[in-house]
Chains A and B, each alone.
Chain A
Amino acid sequence: MDENPPMRVDRLTEPLLAFRRIDKGFFGVKVLEGVSFEVHAGCALGLVGENGAGKSTLMNIVGGNLCADAGEMRWNGGRYSPRSPREAERAGVAFIHQELNLFQNLTIAENLFIGGFPRRLGLIDRRAMGERARAVLREVRLEHGPDTPVERLSAGERQLVEIAKAMMGEARLIILDEPTTSLTTRETGRLFEMVRQLRERGLALIYISHNLEQVRALCDDLVILRDGQVVGSGAMSGFTLDRMVSLMVGREITQFFPTRTSRPSTEVLLEVRGVSQPGMVRAVTFELHRGEVLGISGLMGSGRSELARILFGLDDCSAGEIRLAGECLNPLPPRERIARGMAFLTEDRRADGLCLEASVGDNITLVALGRMVGRTKAVRREEAQAAVRRMREAVRLTPGARDGQPVKTLSGGNQQKVVLAKWILNEPKVFILDEPTRGIDVGAKCEVYRLINELAGRGAGVLMISSEVEELIGMCDRILVMNRGAIGDSIEPGQFDRERILRSALHSGVLA
């Protein structure tokens, strides 16, 4: 750590918030270990690390949701150990989460004052509320009246409401956790402008993001966490992007997309002919071969996910034919398609990929359990346990997770590995992956790519839907581009070109 340039020395003041050797563990696994660093007023500090590195846990400790096992925090020179979010809020910590905490059915003003309405004679003073709300909305440059319901705002505007709320509470430290994931470029620009202003006004900021470019552009200082420890900290100027990545991952990532040794065969596995469903997809026709990784690109709403759901039998199609190894699947429910070797990793693993409350083991065995039962349908436990062990190794699930642990306690990457394990255990022939690397960290992404190659190597056909064009180019044998429900372009290997894919996706006047 000594080799890093020291933090800016022009600060004569005490740090606003200081962490001193913070430890925290769950389920006997250390999540944070001896974390120490400082946050100064008037500075933006970038906090980066892979999922599961301990960023969220650390911020939960600051926010009063969790208690550290050891170590202490100092706030403005005094001891600080909030026992509830409210205490933290009173001290001046404001939290802006990945998932926003606004009440959608209430108005902007009501959201701003939800912690304490201005009152006159015991009743809510609507006029005072409106005036104060208007003033603060001017500051964040949000061009909506205080009586606008939050549900009518865009994601970026909601973010601004969150910031306005933090300013109302006279926060001294604002923590932004992945604030830009759902914002457009313009909205991101506006947010950054806001953040800079806040910094000028002397607020401290902690900015957490996977988008390292943004962190570089915005922050003065940087702290990198890996496996619960600070592996790098100092002024932002001392870090290049490459160095940030290698510190985060703990190894130099030489080759991001692993090369596949196997080649696709000519044998057609999945045949899709003229599949249509009004409002979703139009006359989609393609073939998926054994051992092939077929990419599907396209904008949100281009029908990618809808096509996946139709192929898997979750939605109907009004016309067309789907054949798996020659057999027509059209009337079959998902259950029957799974029995014939289909697998489907959904876009939203929390909503329909996992039983979050259930254990790792129960999730992994859910699909293939039917094969591990006797005549009375009693589950053969040893067999199931052995299968879980086998799969955990195959997907390289973190050894810290116990089989009986609820999956909701795992990091995003490990959750995704559980979903993959669930399907791989069933030895799929055709695997549809919808955004398989969404919201997971760099290391886990590599694992997912490796698994996809392994599946293809074993002769499965993989249909990979992704918004990340690089990922498709790096992984696929062929790429289909969807545009307003139809396949707009089919790009053969050797012709992969980022620009061409984007152009096909945007073709015919659809703007980003």
Chain B
Amino acid sequence: MAIGMRVDGWLPGWLKRGVLSDHLILWLSVAYVLGMAPWATGFVSVSNAQTILAYLLPVLVVSVGLTLVLIIGGIDLSVTSIIALASVLGAKVMSGEDGWMAGNALAVPVGVLVMLAVGLGLGAVNGFTVAVCRIPAFIATLTTMMFVSGFAIWVTLSRKIGGLPAGFVMLGQNLWVATVMAVAVTWLAHGFLSRTLYGRWFYAVGQNARAALVSGVPVGRVTFWTYVASGGFAGLSAILFTAGLETGNPEMARDNLLDVVGAVVIGGTSLYGGRGRVLGTVFGVLFLALVDNSLNLVGLTFYTITMVKGGVILGAALLDTARTRILARTG
């Protein structure tokens, strides 16, 4: 309370408006780019923008899915393991070396479908255990994660699968194609959440599931489909990851979970449910990618970057708290 009050008193008008803006993280990103440009050689350049984009798109897609889950007050720890399994199964179908459909003209579409199906299917498993069996989401998705990542390694004997067809690799490495795919699903999710009846249901379930149920919201169905969607986004993300590295990899995205959760939270989505926006997640992913990339350019070590990123996430959380307080005070 005390901090909130002081922030309230101190801030000059323009800064306060900035802090209160819905696009706060976007402004921070712009400020960050301007501030870092003189220090990080090549930070502002077309080739670096491409590097950032290639890194950011797969993370964005899975983050959007997780945003949905957090909004209904859930959590999905299994997304990165779903990416890994979709990656290796898709690659097993398509690989030109020993894939099940090697050389077949339909290998790419089938592979893509398999990857999406893996995501949707595992999402449905999560949805079933959470919505129907009423197992807490943390436990349900944690066990999915353990099982699925173990399965991905078992099925490949921890070998990477290469030799993916050019038509597939293009999906992730041609930035136009990848951007169009990622932007399209992000835009769909955004419209869905902010404009449709179902979107309103999502928020209601996250804000107060009991009140939502009494008000006629099909809470179980909403919960189920949220996890299915999250799995689906993970499947799509797996396509971008796998094509980007030209490899089916049972360890794919293994280290990305906290990045993803961090980006979503920086974007203003509450871990307690009921609050958040897809657009915020877009900004959050962008901001973290910018920080990561610039610190790499400057030449900091991985460990330093991790620490800085932790600080950035904490800073964003503090800013968000201050913002909520100011809003509560002044409207």
- Interface residue ranges, A against B (CB under 8 Å): 26-28, 65-67, 83-85, 312, 314, 333-335, 338-339, 344, 346, 351-358, 362, 365-367, 369-370, 373, 376-379, 402, 405, 409, 422
Contacts and interface: CB of A to CB of B under 8 A. Distances in A.
B331 A28 contact: yes
A335 B204 CA distance: 14
Given A339-B216, A376-B196, 12 more contacts: A26-B329, A334-B214, A335-B216, A351-B211, A352-B214, A357-B207, A358-B207, A362-B203, A366-B200, A373-B196, A379-B195, A379-B196
Nearest to A353: B211
Contacts of B204: 355, 358, 362, 366
A351 B5 contact: no
Contacts of B218: 333, 335
Interface in B215-230: 215-218
B328 interface: yes
Most buried by B among A66, A355, A356: A355
B214 A312 contact: yes
A315 to B, nearest CB: 12
A373 B201 CA distance: 13
Given A335-B216, A351-B210, A355-B212, A26 B200 contact: no
Contacts of A422: 215
B208 interface: yes
Interface core residue of A312, A365, A369 (most chain B CB under 10 Å): A369
Query: Which applies to chain B's interface (DSSP): helix, strand, loop or mixed?
Result: helix
Contacts, number: 89
Nearest to B208: A355
B200 A362 contact: yes
B106 interface: no
Most chain A CB inside 10 Å of its own CB: which residue of B208, B214, B275 = B214
A422 B216 CA distance: 11
Given A379-B196, A379-B200, A67 B5 contact: yes
A344 B1 contact: no
A422 B214 CA distance: 11
Given A335-B216, A366-B204, A377 B198 contact: yes
B195 A314 contact: no
B213 interface: yes
Nearest to B220: A333
A85 B197 CA distance: 42
Nearest to A66: B1
B210 A352 contact: yes
A346 B191 CA distance: 32
B212 A366 contact: yes
Given A314-B213, A357-B274, A370 B197 contact: yes
A440 to B, nearest CB: 18
Contact of A379 (B5, B197, B215): B197
B2 interface: yes
B331 A346 contact: no
A353 B331 contact: no
Contacts of A402: 331
Contacts of A67: 5
B50 to A, nearest CB: 35
B249 to A, nearest CB: 38
Chain B CB count within 10 A is highest, among A66, A358, A370, A402, for A358
Nearest to A423: B215
Contacts of B191: 378
Interface in B1-19: 1-2, 5
A400 to B, nearest CB: 11
Contacts of B5: 67, 83
Nearest to B9: A67
